[in-house]
Amino acid sequence: MAAAPSQTILFIILLHIFYIFVPSHQYHPLDSLTPSEFSQIRSIVTKAYPESSTHKLTFQYVGLEEPSKQTVISWLKNETTTNPPRQAFVIARIDHQTHELIVDLSLQEIASKRIYSGYGYPMFTFEDQENADKLAFTYPPFVASIRRRGLKLEEVVCESFSVGWYGAEEEEGKNKKRIVKVMCYYMNGTVNLFMRPIEGISMTVDLDEMKIIGFQDRVTVPVPKADETEFRESKIKPPFRQSLKAITVVQPDGPSFTIDGHMISFDVRAGMIISLASIYDLEKQQSRRVLYKGHVSEMFVPYMDLTEEWQRRTFFDAGEYGYGLCSMTLEPLRDCPPNAVFMDAYFSKQDGMPRKIPKAFCIFERYAGDIMWRHTEATIPGKTVREVRQDVSLVVRTVSTFGNYDYVNDWEFKQSGSIKVTVGLTGMVQVRGTTYTHKDHMEEDVYGTLVAENSIAIHHDHFLTYRLDLDVDGDANSFVRSKLRTTRVNDRRSSRKSYWTVDSKTAKTESDARIKLGSEPAELLFVNPNKKTKMGNLIGYRLIPEGVTGALLSSDDHPQIRAAFTNYNVWVTAYNKSEKWAGGLYADQSHGDDTLAVWSNRNRSIENKDIVLWYTLGFHHVPYQEDFPVMPTLNGGFELRPSNFFESNPVLKVKQPKEEYSP
């Protein structure tokens, strides 16, 4: 079992947290695949598709094929005595074809198989990228181009860029290939390579053949000197800021939670998955369901640069690069506070063997000095009453680094039942090399901000689309949009001429539930139409967005067709187990024919049904010099907050933690 202090249970979130591979642990149908399961899957598949010189097999995706929701719920309720079958979903490339396999681990066989022949390709593996990046170094035209620039080959680092789809002839029909563009950086003695792009050179690599099929050295641009871009404390030159005095979080009796379950799991594409988040209702003396499953479904990061080597930079990071594959090891005491507990994660390498990401998750109780609730009652003559409760919550964190950018992903579970999701953007912004050294020299649109000499940080967006399979107190939910509407008062005896009222409408079909935020004030509720509070209010949870960032690309632009899931901030769809990835199962070079927007266009009924909320959190990023050479974290997020879910404030009866610290 994963390392865990054995304390009493706690927290209103049922802390079913995360086993990874414990042969002896109690089975749970939503457990992440274990290393031994990855190995078994590999054996089963390689036996069925033996490799040979003409028969190349690569595992592009291996993840849990989860049992149906009804199966899981029945199992949880102990209505079935047998465990649901343990299955994996595998996407393999075999001889230039995409194979979808369901591998049954109980029966040790391939339960189903299918060749996919539609648009788009599966996620890149690390090996896809590493091998593609290496090709350049033995490719004479590239070597010559580097030499011609007076650069040292051993200081060059290359990276694979997805190419998207732009409607060109070679991208259609039989000529289409699984390709990436390889472009390179110059380290020049430091590790901050992203500040030293080598502009003008790009190579096209066929990933299935693993060879360079195109090369262009279009233009020579000075590699930015990028002085003062070193970010390692051990290498930075003085002066330093004076260090702060130590500050730390202490839990003398250990954490209040136990690691004893399955609430957190890991998927190489989605990264962290939160499952079966339930809340213990003190009044009802039972656990009540809130979120069946929540995770990042896709992330769309288009750059706004029309330069030849830049215009196709419209990344679908989850579907192309893997939000889980890019999960990074967390550093104790820095990435997470001293009271954090860490968990490893595993994924399948290209050859099917398991690979570990040590400390991929951290879990900690958070006390930021905030107040959960308070009141000073000063109205009663001669008496002052003051009651305050500290806000202590539980945070689960991962970090995903996509080349230059780092995303800090927090799911925070508050004692009040609120679930706050925050993403913090940090790391390096993408910089284009340029001849400019001062803004006054620039007469054209440079597509970004001159952040240093010869360095333009390019305008871009980040859209994170979350799939939130809410099951508020049960499967059957409805989506209610309560618009706040100014109402005119026509009664002349009234002092008032206006007030606002709440105009609640239940979405009947998917088209009723597409919302661009910012236009009209509204409460966005997931309710259980079959359950009411004692007062007769529908049991619900509401989405509280923190920003209102929407898509800016034209809807007919190819990247936007593929990212049509960002056309609205909020969508609600009928539950469909296969609709997980907002940009489609095959996001790389997709044509946008399998997006959330396409599914929603079926306009299914969503009233009193098992439904799914999709929320897109966006950032338009205009870089500033402060973002160079590493960006201070910029946060965005949203909250899911109980709204007539409880009969009253569920944290009224929370006592202050027993031991208070006397300073």
DSSP state for residue 105 in the 8-state scheme = T
Regarding 166 and contact with a copy of itself (CB under 8 A), the answer is yes
User: The tokens of 536 are what?
Assistant: 């007769």
19, 186, 323, 405: which one is catalytic? Answer: 405
Q: Smallest distance from the beta carbon of 541 to a copy of itself, in angstroms?
A: 10
Is the CB of 255 or the CB of 433 nearer to a copy of itself? 255
How many CB atoms sit inside 10 A of residue 242's CB?
5
260, 317, 391, 473: which one is catalytic? Answer: 317
Among 447, 526, 581, 638, binds a copy of itself (CB under 8 A): 447
* 164/179 Cα distance (integer angstroms): 10
Is the CB of 104 or the CB of 453 nearer to a copy of itself? 453
Which amino acid is present at 44? Answer: I
User: The tokens of 544 are what?
Assistant: 């509280």
* 348/32 Cα distance (integer angstroms): 12
Among 267, 298, 320, 365, binds a copy of itself (CB under 8 A): 365
Read off φ and ψ for residue 80, nearest 5 degrees. Answer: -115, 145
| Residues in 56-85 that interact with a copy of itself by CB under 8 A | none
Regarding 548 and contact with a copy of itself (CB under 8 A), the answer is yes
Among 138, 334, 443, 490, binds a copy of itself (CB under 8 A): 334
Regarding 547 and contact with a copy of itself (CB under 8 A), the answer is yes
Cis peptide before 629 (omega within 30 of 0): yes
Q: Smallest distance from the beta carbon of 62 to a copy of itself, in angstroms?
A: 21
Is the CB of 25 or the CB of 641 nearer to a copy of itself? 641
3-state class (DSSP) for residue 120: coil
Is the CB of 293 or the CB of 414 nearer to a copy of itself? 414
Among 67, 84, 559, 592, binds a copy of itself (CB under 8 A): 559
DSSP state for residue 655 in the 8-state scheme = P
Among 131, 367, 474, 598, binds a copy of itself (CB under 8 A): 367
Is the CB of 272 or the CB of 399 nearer to a copy of itself? 399
CA-to-CA dists, residue 109 to 85, 349, 359, angstroms: 12, 20, 32
Length in residues, the chain: 663
Active-site annotation holds for 367? no
Among 452, 515, 524, 563, binds a copy of itself (CB under 8 A): 452
Using CA of residue 639, residue 423, residue 565, residue 599, what is the dihedral sign? negative
3-state class (DSSP) for residue 641: strand
Active-site annotation holds for 303? no
Among 34, 192, 297, 430, binds a copy of itself (CB under 8 A): 192
Is the CB of 48 or the CB of 442 nearer to a copy of itself? 442
With left for phi above 0 and alpha for psi between -120 and 50, is residue 554 left, alpha or beta? beta
Among 494, 576, 601, 603, binds a copy of itself (CB under 8 A): 494
Regarding 189 and contact with a copy of itself (CB under 8 A), the answer is no
DSSP state for residue 349 in the 8-state scheme = -
With left for phi above 0 and alpha for psi between -120 and 50, is residue 454 left, alpha or beta? left
* 268/62 Cα distance (integer angstroms): 8
| Residues in 7-36 that interact with a copy of itself by CB under 8 A | 7-12
Regarding 554 and contact with a copy of itself (CB under 8 A), the answer is yes
Considering only 19-27, 90-98, 199-207, 555-563, which stretch makes contact with a copy of itself by CB under 8 A? 555-563
Which amino acid is present at 149? Answer: R
How many CB atoms sit inside 10 A of residue 452's CB?
20
Among 552, 576, 601, 605, binds a copy of itself (CB under 8 A): 552
Regarding 281 and contact with a copy of itself (CB under 8 A), the answer is no
Regarding 489 and contact with a copy of itself (CB under 8 A), the answer is yes
Considering only 343-351, 483-491, 582-590, 607-615, which stretch makes contact with a copy of itself by CB under 8 A? 483-491
Regarding 659 and contact with a copy of itself (CB under 8 A), the answer is yes
Using CA of residue 598, residue 599, residue 600, residue 603, what is the dihedral sign? positive
Regarding 336 and contact with a copy of itself (CB under 8 A), the answer is yes
Is the CB of 40 or the CB of 162 nearer to a copy of itself? 162
Regarding 500 and contact with a copy of itself (CB under 8 A), the answer is yes
Considering only 65-73, 85-93, 228-236, 587-595, which stretch makes contact with a copy of itself by CB under 8 A? 228-236
User: The tokens of 608 are what?
Assistant: 């009193």
Tokens 């780092």 belong to 406
3-state class (DSSP) for residue 174: helix
User: The tokens of 180 are what?
Assistant: 């990436």
3-state class (DSSP) for residue 450: strand
Q: Smallest distance from the beta carbon of 501 to a copy of itself, in angstroms?
A: 6
Is the CB of 39 or the CB of 339 nearer to a copy of itself? 339
User: The tokens of 211 are what?
Assistant: 């060879």
| Residues in 599-658 that interact with a copy of itself by CB under 8 A | 620, 622, 624-633, 641-658
Tokens 């007062």 belong to 535
- Count of residues near a copy of itself by CB under 8 A: 188
User: The tokens of 612 are what?
Assistant: 């799914």
Q: 224 near 193, Cβ under 8 Å? A: no
Regarding 521 and contact with a copy of itself (CB under 8 A), the answer is yes
Among 349, 389, 531, 604, binds a copy of itself (CB under 8 A): 389
Considering only 79-87, 210-218, 267-275, 549-557, which stretch makes contact with a copy of itself by CB under 8 A? 549-557
CA-to-CA dists, residue 466 to 80, 124, 153, 565, 569, angstroms: 32, 21, 41, 11, 10
DSSP state for residue 303 in the 8-state scheme = B
Tokens 């970010």 belong to 231
Q: Smallest distance from the beta carbon of 89 to a copy of itself, in angstroms?
A: 26
How many CB atoms sit inside 10 A of residue 384's CB?
9
Among 51, 112, 499, 505, binds a copy of itself (CB under 8 A): 499
| Helical (H) or strand (E) element with 148 | helix 140-148
Regarding 116 and contact with a copy of itself (CB under 8 A), the answer is no
Among 53, 117, 242, 490, binds a copy of itself (CB under 8 A): 242
Among 52, 140, 173, 386, binds a copy of itself (CB under 8 A): 386
User: The tokens of 447 are what?
Assistant: 């597509």
Among 517, 572, 574, 606, binds a copy of itself (CB under 8 A): 517
Query: What residues are annotated to the active site?
Result: 317, 405
